[in-house]
Amino acid sequence: MILKHTVSMKNCQVIFVKQHLAVFRVIVTWVMLMLSYGADASDAPIIDYRDRFHPVTSATGMVVSQERLASQVGADILALGGNAVDAAVATGFALAVTLPQAGNLGGGGFMMIYLAEQDKTIALDYREMAPARATRNLFLDDEGEVDQNIARFSHLSAGVPGTVAGLIHAQQKYGNLALSQILAPAITLADQGIKVSNSLAFSLKRAEQRLAKWRSSKKYFFRADGSGLQNGDLWQQPDLANTLKAIAQRGAKGFYEGGVAALIVAEMENNNGLISKADLANYRVVERLPVTGSYRGYDISAMSPPSSGGVHLIQLLNILEGWALSDLGHNSAGYIHRLVESMRRAYADRSKHLGDPDFHPVPVKQLMDKNYAQRLRESIDLVKASSSSDISPGLELPYESPQTTHFSVWDNDGNVVSNTYTLNFSYGSGIAVAGAGFLLNNEMDDFSAKPGTPNAYGLTGGEANAIEPAKRPLSSMTPVIVFKDGKPVFTTGSPGGSTIITTVLQTLLNIIDFDMNIAEAAAAPRIHHQWLPDKIFMEKGISLDTQQLLEQKGHVLLTSPRVIGRTQTIASDGQNTYGANDFRWPGGAAIAQP
Ligand code: GLY
């Protein structure tokens, strides 16, 4: 009996130990999985004063933009009782005055808005539209070749501007304050003038030749004696102030109808441009559904087509999710190889499938499908670089200028705005509308000027992005909001043309996989690959032995002649907001509401 009891006790103990071992094994396996796939990255503190770089902290909301005065305008609007949309719109109008290379009235962009009360995210498309008289071969010369000068630096290069319509739509529908309050700071900055900063003088100098070609631009962007504006000069923009006043009084009609519209049409008629009175009156903002995805327990909400940004950001995250990136080490050869091979495949898809969804069916679901990502991942040789010529047919991507600008806003109620807008190139086409004080975009150059024609490899592509009347050109702009457990945890975005997507991707990976705070995530050196040209562009800071290991795998590396992206990021822990402006351009700021 006793023996039996002992035996049965023993059995019980064995069973008990076995059960515990099984539970223990499950826990160990789970912990290993979590560690290996980085799913516990959110445990990293959002701010740690032992780090090298630090975000700005606020208990009452935050505005981050590429220019200090404009960030301050947004923060002041928050202090006046405006919400994130009010502050974002005021910042957008202020940037049109203080950051003329990219802030704009004559361009277009995308705004992601998260409304906390409704738990709803909106993807606002205010991208430029091709004028009604635009034709497929608009930029081809007599030999059928693309005339890049016409495509980029003529009145034909301008799409119908969307910025004013987009900002006004957002503010009127989702803001709290009166439009006059929102426009007032920008009007004051234009009327009273701003002190030219060294970085603005530098940027104007670089665009000098392009701007000096046009009488209106010469008047607006140079000193009265025709010499270049210098650091410390007082720079007033009375014509721009008048345009802003018309918008403050009449909303979007102050721009798309009446005196300002007449000035735009006259500018076109005097210079063989295409934008007509009807084009301006017909401009439409579109509220689209954001594209959404998931990555290691985070939910991603990003801009949908006609931006390629959101689709390819999610596609890239889907491919990369299958590897334990944090185990490889940040910017190690193994990590960069996986990034590059994923980017190569995503950008090949971009060249073929992406365009304005209102004109061409874009296979958004398929491109963002996790099974498709798995197939792409399985096609990647972890030892050897693949060749872009083996990946997929398509055209070499056109050069895309890095001059765009992003800003992020987070208010005290948890509303979030992530906005990227642009003139395309720095100072757009370089052509200012005479009498109206603002520059025209050269966004028509973002269309494929010559689709369907074989490139040097005999490959074709770009049909989805061919020029058509009223169509919106394909973009790479990637404003994004990232959620965890249903709550927004950070937002980011960047200028940088085709490098925007890879910049935003690396920012997300730095935060999620490598536990960096948002300032550290911004500061880390970046790489870029866009399928064609078949090269890894690197910022300074990738070690020589890493470069050698990548070359041994068969990659071609090039130190990028310019920085890759400039992010404006805000994070929140539900209590405080944390803002980080990229260090790659001086003068920007993360400003907390006073
Ligand atoms: N113009 C650059 C872009 O939209 O991506």
- Is the per-residue pLDDT at 452 higher than 90? no
Nearest to 474 by CA among 314, 310, 244: 310
Cα 203 to Cα 473: distance, rounded to the nearest angstrom: 26
Q: Tell me if 497 CB under 6 Å of ligand 1.
A: yes
CA pair distance 425, 94, nearest whole angstrom: 19
Phi and psi (nearest 5°) for 295?
Answer: -150, 115
Tell me 196's DSSP state.
P
Distance CA 132, CA 278 (A): 9
How many whole angstroms from 556 Cα to the centroid of ligand 1?
26
Each residue's pLDDT tens digit, 517-572: 999 999 999 999 999 889 999 999 999 999 999 999 999 999 988 899 999 999 99
pLDDT at 32: 44
pLDDT score of 100 more than 60: yes
CB neighbourhood size of 379 (10 A): 13
Region 52-81 average pLDDT: 97
More confident residue, 115 or 1: 115
pLDDT of residue 462: 77
475 lines ligand 1 (CB under 6 A): yes
Q: Is the CB of 58 under 6 A from ligand 1?
A: no
Q: Which two three-digit tokens encode residue 75? A: 């923060």
Domain ranges of the chain: 1-43, 289-399+477-586
Atom of ligand 1 nearest to the CA of 443: 1
CB 567 within 8 A of CB 552: no
Q: How far is the CA of 108 from the centre of ligand 1 (A)?
A: 9
Q: Collect all residues with Cβ–Cβ distance below 8 Å to 80 and sequence separation of at least 6.
A: 177, 181
Could you tell me the pTM of the whole model? Answer: 0.91
Residue closest by Cα to atom 4 of ligand 1: 475
pLDDT at 394 over 80: no
Q: How far is the CA of 109 from the centre of ligand 1 (A)?
A: 8
Q: Whose CA is nearest to atom 1 of ligand 1?
A: 424
Using 50, 70 and 90 to split pLDDT, how confident is the model at 3?
very low
What phi-psi label fits residue 515: left (phi over 0), alpha (psi between -120 and 50 degrees) or beta?
Answer: left
Element (H, E) at 9: helix 2-36
Tell me the H-state helices in 270-407.
277-281, 309-320, 325-328, 333-353, 364-367, 370-378
Mean pLDDT in residue range 183-204: 98
Say how many CA atoms lie within 13 Å of 169 toward its Cβ. 21
Instruction: Please work out whether the CB of residue 422 comes within 6 Å of at least one atom of ligand 1.
Output: yes
Q: Which residues are catalytic?
A: 404
| Atom number of ligand 1 nearest to Cα 476 | 5
Measured in Å, residue 400 CA sits from the centre of ligand 1 at 7
For the range 462-466, what are the long-range contacts, defined as Cβ-Cβ under 8 Å and sequence gap of 24 or more?
Answer: 462/351, 462/352, 462/394, 462/395, 463/355, 463/360, 464/352, 464/353, 464/354, 464/355, 464/360, 464/362, 465/354, 465/355, 465/356, 465/360, 466/136, 466/355
Residue 460: the pLDDT is 32
pLDDT digits (tens, 9 = 90+) for 402-447: 579 999 999 999 999 999 999 999 999 999 999 999 999 999 998 9
Q: How many CA atoms lie within 13 A of 431 on its CB side?
A: 21
**Domain 289-399+477-586: CATH architecture, name and number where available:** 4-Layer Sandwich (3.60)
**Residue 19, pLDDT score:** 52
Any ligand 1 atom below 6 A from CB of 415: no
CA of 289 to the centre of ligand 1 (A): 20
With a 6 Å cutoff on the Cβ, whether 157 touches ligand 1 is: no
Among 125-139, 341-355, 568-582, which is the least confidently predicted range?
A: 341-355
* Atom nearest to 127 CA in ligand 1: 4
* CA angle in degrees (0–180, nearest 5) for 11-12-17: 100
Q: Which of 563, 548, 539, 36 is nearest to 333 (CA)?
A: 548
Conformation bin of residue 297: beta by default, left when phi > 0, alpha when psi is -120 to 50:
left
From 130-134, 141-145, 290-294, 301-305, the region with the lowest mean pLDDT: 141-145
